Every structure is written in C-alpha cells, then in structure tokens.
Structure 1
Amino acid sequence: MLDVRRLRLLRELSRRGTIAAVAEALTFTPSAVSQQLAALEREAGVALLERTGRRVVLTPAGIALVGHAEAVLERLEQAAAELAAARTGLTGTLRIGAFPTATRVLLPPALAALAGEHPALEPMVEELDPAEVAPRLRAGDLDVALVHEYDFVPAAPDLALDTLPLLDEPMYLATPASAGGATLADCRGEPWILSTPGTLCHAMTVRACQAAGFAPRARHHVDDFGTVLAMVSVGQGVALVPEFGAADPPGGVRLTPLPMRRRTLVAFRRGAAGHPAIAAFTAALRSCSPVTASRA
C-alpha cells in the first residue's frame, strides 16, 4: 500500500526539483525527505527518481504516480469535506491566508459576518504574498486563501488547487499632482516605486511597463500601498496601485485609471470546495465584499 504522506512528498518534489527545496518548504530535514522517498520507491517496486547532479528528476513511473497522487489527494479532500458536512455546526480552526490589502479591506467585515453565523468556528489569519500561497495550501498549512492576479501576471495553473472568483478592481497610475496627467509611456524616464522583487505586484509593474515599451527604473522598493502613495506625494517616484490600495490617497497625488485590472480569488485545495467551513467563509466574503468602481 502506498503511503499518502510520501505521495505528498513526491508531488512537492515534482514541483520544486530538489530534495533540499522540499525539505525547506515542509520543515523536514533533507535526509528525512530522502528516506521517505526511498521508502515510497520500495512500496512502488519501481524506480521513481533519477539523480542528475544536485537535482532529482522523476522517472516516467514517478511522473505517472504524481498524476495518481493528485487524484488520490483530491478524493481525500472530498471525503474530509463530506465528513465535516455530516457534523452538526462548524467548529475548530479555519487557517486563512490573505494579501495585505485583502486583510485590511475584505477580511474584517467577512470575519464579523462569519462569527455571527458560526460562533464556534475559529478563523486564524496569516498575511502573506499570493506567490507564497500555493505551497502553503498544498502542505496543509492553510485551509483557504485570498489571492490575486493581474492582467499581465496570470496565475500559474496548479493541479492541486482550485479557485473561485471573488471580485476585480481597477488599477491606477499614481503620479505627483504637480506633474499633471500622464500615461505609462509618459513615465518611462521617471523613477519608480516598485514592490519587493519576487512578488506579484513587482512583476505586474515591470510587465506593464515593458508592454508600454520600457523597463522601469526602480528607486524604491515598498510593499505597503499607503506608503507608496505617501512617497509619490512628495515626488519620490511614480507607481501602479490597485483600487483597494488607493483608498484615501494623500494630497499631492494624481490617480489616472489604466485599462488593466487586479482580480481577487478564493483558493483552496482541489476537492475542498464542498467543505462547510470553506463554503461559509466564501459566502461571507461574497456578502460583504465592496463593489469597486473606477474613479472619475
């Protein structure tokens, strides 16, 4: 019989490529991961891995087994959801991941509504960038998460996860008010305020500028949109900000709407859509989410 925990390790290895990366992501030691994968090979009776230098490549049998692992893990999520639905009332913890503006704008009213409907359910929120969500969901560290994607940075497909659309919001070019109106192309020579490299917000700005025919010259790297707008207001650069990040901008900032959007989605492990806690959380979000509109 194949061990489900070892199948999870094989699935992570297929995505990360090295034993060390799997160990770091799942807080194991590399030797423990190697031992568990060796045990899985013994259970399977065929070679699942080939080592090429420091990387590990899955054999055809290993690749096929990952496909079966995805199906098995999805069915286990469905089983857990059905068992939870058979219980009376929602209890226990619901581990939620969310990006900063969602934590500030979307979660407070949704959590209040959730507490009113299901007082025995204990939501636990962790703020993180959407780029970190997928491995945390796959590893079981999170149950559900709010993620976003941009027109220029679509979400990468992940067979282990499902998403439901929640809302979308417009994007704005933030420039000093003294500079007058501007387009992206007008700002090719300006200093830019970008998010931290490796985040989706950073990739969005870089790709949007590239689509306008230039590479942005980064002066500052700042993740908090309120701070970004404060720096724009004193002439420290220009930036792209979403609607939720542009609420109550300081004086001295001009916000010009752009023909691009940021979309927010609810993400969870495939097979878990029917889990009553996740369904209740999604319903609370949808009942409380603001309707965004472009600024005049």
Structure 2
Amino acid sequence: MSPNSLENPFHPPEQQTGIPSKLTEVFLDPATNTALTEALGEDEPSKSEPQQDLLPADISMTGEEQREVEKESYWTREQYIEWAESFGKDENWVDGTFEFQKDGTTVVWGNLNLLSTEIKQLPVGLMEVKGKLIIDINPSLKLNGYPKKVSGYFGCSYNNILSLEGMPEEVGGGISFEESNLTSLVGLPKIINNNLNLSWNKFVTLDDFPREIHGDVRLSDNENLVSLDVLSGVKIGGDLWLKSIPATTIPEGIEIVGVIYIHEHQTDLIADAKRKGYRVILF
C-alpha cells in the first residue's frame, strides 16, 4: 500500500507556499534573493499584551459596616456578669451599675469604682461613665479603648500602664496616672479640666504635654525627667510640682496661676525659676 493510499481522494492537494531556495539562488542575484527571502519569511509570532495588574477590589468598610463589626464584639450581659464575678460582684451589681442600650453598648449613670479589683480590662462596649472612673491599683490592667467618655475624674494610678493608647477619648475632670511607668504622653487630651497627676513615672521629656490644665500639675519624682522645655506656653490654673527631678532649668513663658513647689536640694532649678520670675516655695 502506497503512503498516499489512505488520503482523501476528494481533498485537493496542499498548495506549496514560498519559493524554493534553490530556484531563487539560481535565477536571482544574491541581493535580490536576500531581499525576497526576508520579504517572504514568516513574521515573528505576535507577542501577547502584558496583563495589567488588576487593582484589588475596594473592600474598605463604610462607617455603618464598621459599627456593625464593633457591635458584634460588644460584651453580652453574661460576659459582664462573668467579669464581675472575677472580683466578687454578681449579676445584681451588673444590672444596678450598667444600663444596657439597644445597640449592645452600656452606660454607667454615676461613679464606677474598680479600685484594686485585679481587673485586666474594662468591658468592651462600655461607652460612658457619667461620674468618676477609678481603676487604681490594678497592675495587670490594659487600657482597651473603653469607656469612650468619662464625665468626671479619671484615676488610673499605681498600674503598669506603659502607654496611654486606649484611654478614654474625653475626660471631664482631673486625670491621675501616678506611679504608672509611663514614658510617653501620646494620647493625653490637650486640655485637662482639673488636676493632672503624672508623678513617679519614667518620663525623660514631656513631648505631647497638654497645653492647658485647669488645676494643679504634679510632675514630682520623675527621676529621668531632664527637660521641661515643652512647658513653655502651657497654661496651668493651679500649682506646678517639680519635687525631686533632675532638670536644672525651667523655660520662660509658663502661665502659672499658683506657685512652683521644689525641694530645697534642687538648688540649680530653684535659682533658674526665681531668675525667670516664678514664685517658688521650698519644702
């Protein structure tokens, strides 16, 4: 059987394309042969267009969607009770202290005293304390962004609070972070509506210090505090306490209604404060 015996007899023979190179070499001069060969040569395969990187879909949440996510994480009443039982309270205390709102948040219509209860955090969803919030002497406590607002005094002293991130966004009264190991003031409100107590911390400088305090300012016993320069231009409605700090100079321009309290052994700071016209009381 010949090789072509299985071919379709009705299929026309394939047309030969191109010009045999032997013929072009015989009948054409070299230059014309080269030009013709290039003209009849196969085009380079077309290159596919590079795929453009597609921008990721916009998965950012709207404000309403964000609130829904937060709402899903608010503590339930059962979680409040479990938290309260960890420091000796019960569901009656929870129901008498926290008012649960329709959106899952809570409000305290008075003072909330959690002094030395060994709590580690405040309830997620507690939006406002209408009175004072006292959470002193809870060494394992971490600020978690709740409550959002405290209408009165906020006491958070004698804790191991290394950062003010997560403190209430609004505080209507004084603020105390005495002996809390703070090194930074980032997150502290720019206006303090009563006394500000920052004694016994780890400050080296006072960057991000509030610009207006409507009461006393206590910075005593910050053993690393070498600079008070940021206090220039600050308004202090009461006294300024600078006992037992290593700073030896004080800037001009502090608007102090009261006096500056300095320990008698701080001779350089005393001399500089008096030279700049501040009223100084030694003790």
Interval of TM-score (by shorter of Structure 1 and Structure 2) = under 0.3
Higher relative strand content = 1
TM-score normalised to structure 1 length:
0.25
Q: Which structure has the higher relative contact order (CA within 8 Å, separation 6+)?
A: 1
State the TM-score, normalized to the length of structure 2.
0.25
